Amino acid sequence: MEMENNKCGCWSVLKRGVCKPSASRQSPNTIPRTSLVHDAATETRYLNASNRELCAPNEVRLSSDNPDPPPPQENKAPCQLLQFTFQELKSATGNFRPDSILGEGGFGYVFKGWIEEGGTAPAKPGSGVTVAVKSLKPDGLQGHREWVAEVDFLGQLHHPNLVKLIGYCIEDDQRLLVYEFMTRGSLENHLFRRTVPLPWSNRVKIALGAAKGLAFLHNGPEPVIYRDFKTSNILLDTEYNAKLSDFGLAKAGPQGDKTHVSTRVVGTYGYAAPEYVMTGHLTAKSDVYSFGVVLLEILTGRRSMDKKRPSGEQNLVSWARPYLADKRKLYQLVDPRLELNYSLKAVQKISQLAYGCLSRDPKCRPNMDEVVNALTPLQDLNDFAILSYHSRLSQQGRRKKKPDGTTHISYTHSKSMRASPLNTGRHLR
């Protein structure tokens, strides 16, 4: 993409739509002497940190010994992004106060803050624009390399199902990113950390939105492989629209006649495709496998890896695969907290789709466009299992004549509302 004659403040626009500081102008909001790519010693420190295991429960980060090629040796940042000073973000978050923390991960903390609309100045809490500020920990699992990748990808990619990156801060050893605020948090919280179950209609809507986000990444002029698709990286707005976040591990897809990208193995155990873990060969079908895992989590209400469960049930894919392949048993997979409030046909279709996405042969997996096409009609299905359950009860009712000539219908109720409407046995917890 040629954009060499355009200007964006102090940034001269280069090929690929990225920017670097021009020599003629400087302003308080330009990148300082410190480059986006810092010295070798610091880079080594970040890489060593990124090879540690994540200590969050039920989640282990994957990392091989072979590093990726270093980031591009140039200053760059997409011109539409705002550059904040550290002091501005410190004020916007109330001095990074603990009660403003939205979440924590291998990268560091995410804080809630407020900024003036259209600018970088901090605003009073409850006024202006609400934002999420991610602060990179120097000794965290994600380092400068991942920070650059996030700015590079999210600064240039725009889609309704990708979280919007508003700006960044690079000041001395401080690395921060500023995003749009996602009101309802992550899909992970709704599936696993709340007592009220996520309704079936919202689950289908979220799965479709996330699929559209991945399809957009895979089908662009310069394909992108997300590489870390999981429930904690799917954020939700007020209307439960899904948006993909955290592009620190994203990679440019294969170019030309290349079939894959060879790279170090990183990601989260339980979500990564087996062929990628074994060979380091990364393709769009690696993301499709991860999508299949998340689809299973949405269907079952179980985590991809759960050490609290019996040994044969800790790995969700291994445990669920036999049920997905048997139409008589697949209803036993459905999250029991839904209590039959789900579409029978949608469960069938989603189970079939998950089974295809989780194929051991990457070539047999669907592409994300096919996934989107399969999920789209499922939003409108209303053949809920609870209706089938009551229908079966009415059919089993016994008609008895009363002395006055009226008819009395008695019903034979099952012991549990969680019984399968198709007599497939009880739901599995």
Q: What is the mean pLDDT of residues 392-398?
A: 55
Q: Is 74 exposed, middle or buried (0-12, 13-18, 19+ CB in 10 A)?
A: exposed
- Among residues 152, 228, 246, 287, which one is catalytic? 228
SS3 of 399, please?
Answer: strand
Q: Which two tokens stand for residue 140?
A: 């965290």
pLDDT at site 151:
86
134 known ligand binder: yes
Q: Please choose, from the candidates 374, 232, 233, 357, the residue with its C-alpha nearest in 3D space to the C-alpha of residue 295.
A: 357
Among the residue ranges 64-73, 265-274, 286-295, 318-327, the one predicted with the least confidence is 64-73
Predicted confidence (pLDDT) at residue 27 exceeds the cutoff of 80: no
What H or E segment, with its residue span, contains residue 102? strand 101-105
Q: What is the mean pLDDT of residues 158-173?
A: 93
Share of the chain above pLDDT 90, in %: 51
Q: What is the mean pLDDT of residues 136-154?
A: 75
φ, ψ (nearest 5 deg) of residue 47: -65, -40
15: which residues sit within 8 A by CB, 6+ positions away?
1, 2, 3, 4
Share of the chain above pLDDT 70, in %: 69
Q: What is the mean pLDDT of residues 63-81?
A: 50
Q: Which two tokens stand for residue 171?
A: 């000041």
| Measured CA distances, 69 to 126, 209, 264 (Å) | 43, 32, 9
CB atoms within 10 A of CB 70: 12
What average pLDDT is seen over the chain?
78
Cα distance between residue 155 and residue 37, in whole Å? 17
Predicted confidence (pLDDT) at residue 262 exceeds the cutoff of 80: no
Predicted confidence (pLDDT) at residue 26 exceeds the cutoff of 90: no
* pLDDT greater at residue 63 or residue 137: 137
* pLDDT greater at residue 64 or residue 96: 96
Specify whether the CB–CB gap between 286 and 273 falls below 8 A.
Answer: yes
pTM beyond 0.85, yes or no: no
Domains of the chain (ranges; CATH) run 7-180 (3.30.200.20), 187-380 (1.10.510.10)
Q: What is the mean pLDDT of residues 244-250?
A: 87
Cα distance between residue 179 and residue 163, in whole Å? 7
pLDDT band at 52 (very low <50, low <70, confident <90, very high): very low
Cα distance between residue 297 and residue 310, in whole Å? 17
Predicted confidence (pLDDT) at residue 86 exceeds the cutoff of 90: yes
Q: What is the mean pLDDT of residues 350-359?
A: 97
Cα distance between residue 422 and residue 392, in whole Å? 9
Cα distance between residue 424 and residue 333, in whole Å? 11
When mean pLDDT is compared over 43-47, 103-107, 323-327, the highest value belongs to 323-327
Predicted confidence (pLDDT) at residue 417 exceeds the cutoff of 50: no
Strands (E), 141-229: 165-171, 174-180, 224-225
Note if 228 is an active site residue: yes
pLDDT at site 197:
95
pLDDT at site 204:
98
pLDDT at site 7:
33
Predicted confidence (pLDDT) at residue 13 exceeds the cutoff of 70: no
Cα distance between residue 19 and residue 4, in whole Å? 10
